[in-house]
Structure 1
Amino acid sequence: MTGTHERYAAYAERIAPVSPSYAAWARSVDGDLVALLDAVPEQQRQPELVFAVARRLGADPSDPGSLRALGREARPAFTAALATATVQANDPRRLGPVVPVFAALAAADERPLGLVDAGAAAGLCSIPDRVTLDHRTPDGVVRVHAAVAEPSVHLTVETSGTAPAPTTTPIRIGARVALDPNPIDLAEPGAFDRLVEAVPPEATDRTALMREAARATLAVPPVRIRGTLPGDLDRALDALPDGVRPVVLTTGTLVYVPGADRQRVVDRLRERGVHWVALERTGILRGVAETLPADVDPADPDAFATVSLDGVALAVCDPFGVRVRWFRRPGA
């Protein structure tokens, strides 16, 4: 079995409980589709991106054979679209594990935060201040952060380990910048439909949450900058006004950045002296991985992603950010 086969087999197992149709598509990947996928850059082979492009080109997720059919019948168009696609799920549930980190940063600085959401898509993760977050613990539900204003989103995260304490300090954001190769303006007709292309068709609750997050984002829209990491990071940071504390957020972004450039992103963040809040695939950042406890298994679905601050791992979580194991408190 090739690396691409293995990736899609693992994805099928992970996604099956929430999307049988996407699991069937992932299991349908055969030798011909592997050859097609291996012809595009490695970071363009992510299942969510591939499936979003397939749907855009007319493949029907309810038909398990439609992905293979697209690969046979529209191979040049499929390959060309994959080579340049920048589809992101932009799942606001990813805010659940990072809101406590933003709360700790807000409590430690009198200045409002200046947020650069790198890989922002439509900016649905640019609103940590507009999240009311509850932690579900063995002892009950604890409110960790209350949204500063409406419209907002409500997230509940199952937590274990050394969970952050509730905060009475609201997250204040003085400026927002959304950096993305193809930023989505939610005010444009059809923008939300484009955004949910990457969402499995069965995930109606996720689409509803994204719609709530879209309303909150439209209330405080970010400045959109078309660009990529690491080349346009400085331009995004320089767009922040004086008087804010710069914080760069990456949520599932760096997996799309070629390996050599990932370290360049990390190095430039350190050179600029800005905070970096990340929720990225466990193991793709060597420096962050070196700060994980020895008992963290990257193959564990509940350790799929790592929450980190300034390159130091704080927690691990499932792919959707709804189950979080904390082992360091942010700011401690």
Structure 2
Amino acid sequence: MTTTEWYAEFAAREARGQSPTYERLATAVARDAELLGLLDTVPAAKRQPNLLFGVVRLLGGPVDDPAAFHDFAVSNWPVIAAQLRARATQTNEAGRCAVLLPALAGLPQPLALLEVGASAGLCLYPDRYAYRYGEHAVGDGEPVLECAASNLTPPDRVPDVVWRAGLDLNPLDATDPADVAWLDALVWPEHAHRRARLHAAAAVASADPPLLVRGDLVDDLPALAARAPADATLVVFHHSVLYQVPAPRRAAFVELVRALPARWISVEAPDVLGFDGLPAPPDPGLHNVLALDGRPLAWTRGHGQGIAWFG
């Protein structure tokens, strides 16, 4: 996929109906030859829309006007490029727990959770949050995660989690204001509810910090998995992570996780794990696939705000 196509697809599939600001901005970048040329000077994985937009926002640049964005990006490109190379889209959206919960609730309890690509570990607390699937409420914590569900009988309780750990190339610290500022910059402009949710979830993580380990998803996963308590069901999970991993390394991870004494929950775009024969998504915004042990279960929205069970 070319950089032009990446931004055009982001505008049409991800931002449309979710963020008019980012839909407008990504559409403009897709047609901006000068900015596309600059983007093509950084590694392909560093050209993604969320990363560029988050870096510009972190640096105080404008995102609500494409022309002003262009001028800021071109004028400050050396600084922006350095940030793109140093950072990753570590969007730590606690709302994603709402699409993980149906899979987690059906596993033998208690659970030991190990998240790959954990960022600050905010998705390691599905037992501490509350959920609302339409009129169906689950749990009593904060924040409250809302999720539109179809073909799904929501679980009636949160999971019993006795151990939680995360693996990340660059783990973030929910107690560090600079790390939380980067997470805040990754929240889309209009999403005040997500920003409030981020800070509420960060407060949960700060009060009881998880075990976060700096490491590689293949080289360092077995050692961390071995630290999980033997009397709990180990669950290795990840959400929107593997698309950033080169295909050979991704295949090595899949082989490894299948060999571990663990259950495996993935939420990724269908082409990332090569799922075939999926039912058509009922809405174009449902573009990720929730799977358990490699078996697809549902379409989901990117930030956990919707799930359509295959039923």
Is the TM-score greater than 0.5?
yes
Q: Output the amino acid matched with 1:154.
A: V
C-alpha distance in 2 between matches for 1:285 and 1:179: 20
Secondary structure of the residue that 2:171 maps to in structure 1?
coil
C-alpha distance in 2 between matches for 1:239 and 1:188: 26
| Aligned-residue RMSD, C-alpha | 2.2
Say which of 287, 303, 309 aligns to 1:320: 303
CA gap of 1:28–1:101, structure 2 versus 1, over 3 A, is: same
Secondary structure of the residue that 1:87 maps to in structure 2?
coil
What are structure 1's unaligned runs of at least 5 residues?
A: none
Q: Any idea what the Cα deviations from partners look like across 1:73-101, whole Å, max 9, x if unmatched?
A: 23333333222312322111111111111
Tell me the residue number matched to 1:166: 155
Secondary structure of the residue that 1:80 maps to in structure 2?
helix
Q: Offset at 1:264?
A: 1.2
Q: Any idea what the Cα deviations from partners look like across 1:226-274, whole Å, max 9, x if unmatched?
A: 1232232223313324433211110111122122211111110011131
1:97 equivalent to 2:90? Answer no
C-alpha distance in 1 between matches for 2:2 and 2:247: 16
Using the TM superposition, name which of 206-215 and 233-242 deviates more: 233-242
Tell me the residue number matched to 1:209: 197
Secondary structure of the residue that 2:217 maps to in structure 1?
coil
Q: Offset at 1:304?
A: 0.7
CA gap of 1:165–1:22, structure 2 versus 1, over 3 A, is: closer
Q: Any idea what the Cα deviations from partners look like across 1:105-155, whole Å, max 9, x if unmatched?
A: 1xx24xx2111111111111111112322322xxxx223x325xx4x3222
C-alpha distance in 2 between matches for 1:237 and 1:190: 29
Q: Offset at 1:194?
A: 2.2
Question: Any conservation in 1 of the 2:101–2:155 contact (CA below 8 Å)?
Answer: no
C-alpha distance in 1 between matches for 2:69 and 2:166: 32
Using the TM superposition, name which of 269-278 and 4-13 deviates more: 4-13
C-alpha distance in 1 between matches for 2:184 and 2:52: 14
Tell me the residue number matched to 2:139: 146
1:68 equivalent to 2:70? Answer yes
Tell me the residue number matched to 1:178: 166
Q: Offset at 1:326?
A: 0.3
1:112-261 map, 5 Å: 112-136=110-134, 141-143=135-137, 145-147=138-140, 150=141, 152-161=142-151, 163-168=152-157, 170-261=158-249
Q: Offset at 1:325?
A: 0.9
Q: Output the amino acid matched with 1:56.
A: L
Q: Offset at 1:185?
A: 1.3
Tell me the residue number matched to 2:6: 7
TM-score by length of 1: 0.85
Secondary structure of the residue that 2:258 maps to in structure 1?
helix
C-alpha distance in 1 between matches for 2:59 and 2:178: 16
TM-score by length of 2: 0.90
Tell me the residue number matched to 2:25: 25
Say which of 259, 277, 280 aligns to 1:296: 280
Q: Offset at 1:104?
A: 0.7
Q: Offset at 1:282?
A: 2.5
Question: Any conservation in 2 of the 1:153–1:216 contact (CA below 8 Å)?
Answer: no
C-alpha distance in 1 between matches for 2:94 and 2:163: 19
C-alpha distance in 2 between matches for 1:306 and 1:233: 23
C-alpha distance in 2 between matches for 1:63 and 1:253: 30
Q: Offset at 1:305?
A: 0.6
C-alpha distance in 2 between matches for 1:241 and 1:273: 12
Tell me the residue number matched to 1:279: 267
Secondary structure of the residue that 1:100 maps to in structure 2?
helix
C-alpha distance in 2 between matches for 1:262 and 1:66: 38
Tell me the residue number matched to 1:306: 289
C-alpha distance in 2 between matches for 1:257 and 1:75: 25
Using the TM superposition, name which of 65-74 and 127-136 deviates more: 65-74
Question: Any conservation in 2 of the 1:305–1:318 contact (CA below 8 Å)?
Answer: yes
CA gap of 1:68–1:228, structure 2 versus 1, over 3 A, is: farther
Question: Any conservation in 2 of the 1:301–1:318 contact (CA below 8 Å)?
Answer: no
Q: Output the amino acid matched with 2:298.
A: A
Identity %: 32
Q: Output the amino acid matched with 2:96.
A: R
What are structure 2's unaligned runs of at least 5 residues?
A: none
